[in-house]
Amino acid sequence: MTDVWARAALWLGLALVATLLSIRLRVATALSEIVVGTVAQLLIGAFIGKALLGTSEAWITFLSGTGAILLTFLAGAELDPTIFRAKWKESLGIGFVSFFAPFLGCAAFAAWVLHWTPQASWLAGVALSTTSVAVVYAVMLELGLNSTDFGKALLAACFVTDLGTVLALGLIFAPFSLRTVAFVGVGAVAVVVLPWLTPRFFRVFGGRPSELEAKFLLLVLFGLGALATWADSEAVLPAYLVGMVLAGTVGKDHALIRRLRTVTFGLLTPFYFIRAGSFVSVPALLAAPTGVLGLLAAKLATKTVGVWPMARLFRYPRTEAAYTTLLMSTGLTFGSISALFGLTHGIITQTQYSILIATVILSAVVPTLVANAFFLPRYLLPPPAPSRPESADVALGGGES
């Protein structure tokens, strides 16, 4: 067990460094964790050996996957059904073009400029059509925009985009089978039953120190996640759906959501984001910068062509339209999942996989940095919490008596 504890200490040390950098540089922690993961695998690989980081070990993969599932669930739980019903037109419109424009544009770039095979080109289109719910939600949460109508509509549009990505991946590449039918059937039952069952179950048995609520939610998420992977889908998809259908009940339990956030952001998501960054192959980037930069430019250009006019059509002010366009250009979870699916099924080569992963990671970093630096709608930010008066510090034991 010494190796496990030492490696856990190494990963949490990297997470701490990433958090300090995010505070110092005023960027989202998710982005700094990705960058730290990339730099760490490069330095550790050069001076000690890549095995020290252990990114492929089962327990790290499990913690990383659990972080992605819980983060996606929390993002779904942030959706306000009232806001979604009021803004369903713009969420559907922005989400649809956010998927469709880069799907066609990046596939065309891969086929006609990079001369990839048709199958590899379609996979590139799928992988780069995504919007990262994980990155957008993390940024919304850190800035406090998750509680605004603007932030909730943006998260709803993310869901529409990623739903299009998952459907495209399934329709083009994944075989439909009885497992798919079973997954869809059980998922449909869960979507109907959970909003009715969960609040009643919590009301009768919850509210105790044993944290029954968290165990129940993890049971549901892990169970549906296992069913999804058994059906050749992805565990994060049912997590998002469960979060959405429970947004009107569990999502309003602020104390429960806060406890889940503590576990998710304090322990789990650093493994997810640092591991994602560690997959970036710097030598592949240096060997084929044209492909990476070309695909990144294609994604940003097609997202802009699609999302910006749609946002303006729904009367978004210029700053909010630009911020929406850039955040809808981010990609991470479903993009890397799609690339890994293509590699493991022989659709793309190792080099194409590295190019796609590098592009996906860069798309998580570049648009977010530009958006927060130049187009952040500061007038939507909640006012800073008032500092505690000195008397309160004294009363809490924080000052000298």
Q: Is the pLDDT of residue 393 over 50?
A: no
Q: Mean pLDDT across the stretch 271-294?
A: 79
CB atoms under 10 Å from CB of 285, counted, come to 20
Give the orientation angle of helix 149-172 with respect to helix 333-344, to 10 degrees: 10
pLDDT tens string 92-137: 899 999 999 999 999 999 999 999 999 999 999 998 998 887 778 7
Supply the pLDDT for residue 391.
46
Considering only CA atoms, which of 110, 162, 136, 167 is closest in space to residue 298? Answer: 110
What DSSP state is assigned to residue 78? T
pLDDT digit string (tens) for 203-236? 888 778 788 888 999 999 999 989 988 887 777 7
pLDDT of residue 394: 39
Tens-place pLDDT, residues 30-74: 778 878 888 888 888 777 777 777 778 888 888 988 888 888 788
Question: Percentage of the chain with pLDDT > 70?
Answer: 91
Residue 269's nearest CA partner among 33, 44, 77 is 33
- CA–CA dist 389, 193 (Å, integer): 47
More confident residue, 129 or 388: 129
pLDDT at 387 over 80: no
Q: Which range, of 80-89, 95-104, 299-308, averages the lowest pLDDT?
A: 80-89
**Mean pLDDT, the chain, as a whole number?**
82
Is residue 335 within 8 A of residue 128, CB to CB? The reply is: yes
CA angle (341, 344, 348) in 5-degree steps: 80
For residues 196 and 214, the answer to whether their CB atoms sit within 8 Å is no
Burial of 100 (0-12, 13-18, 19+ CB in 10 A): middle
Closest CA to 151 of 78, 245, 94: 78
Smallest CA-to-CA distance from 270 within 2, 22, 3 is with 22
Q: What is the Cα–Cα distance from 18 to 365, expressed in whole angstroms?
A: 14
Q: What is the 3-state secondary structure (H, E, C) of 319-370?
A: HHHHHHHHHHCCCCHHHHHHHHHHHHCCCCCHHHHHHHHHHHHHHHHHHHHH
289, two tokens: 């910068």
User: What one-letter code names the amino acid at 109?
Assistant: F
> What letter represents residue 276's amino acid?
A
For residues 174 and 178, give the distance between their C-alpha atoms in angstroms, rounded to a whole number: 13
pLDDT at 385 over 70: no
Per-residue confidence (pLDDT) for residue 110, from 0 to 100: 93
Mean pLDDT within 351-357: 82
Which tens digits make up the pLDDT trace of 137-196?
778 877 888 778 888 888 888 878 877 887 787 678 766 778 888 888 898 898 889 888
**Residue type for position 367:** P
pTM, 2 dp = 0.75
The predicted structure's pLDDT at residue 398: 36
Are 301 and 105 in contact by the 8 Å Cβ rule? The answer is yes
Q: DSSP letter at 249? A: T
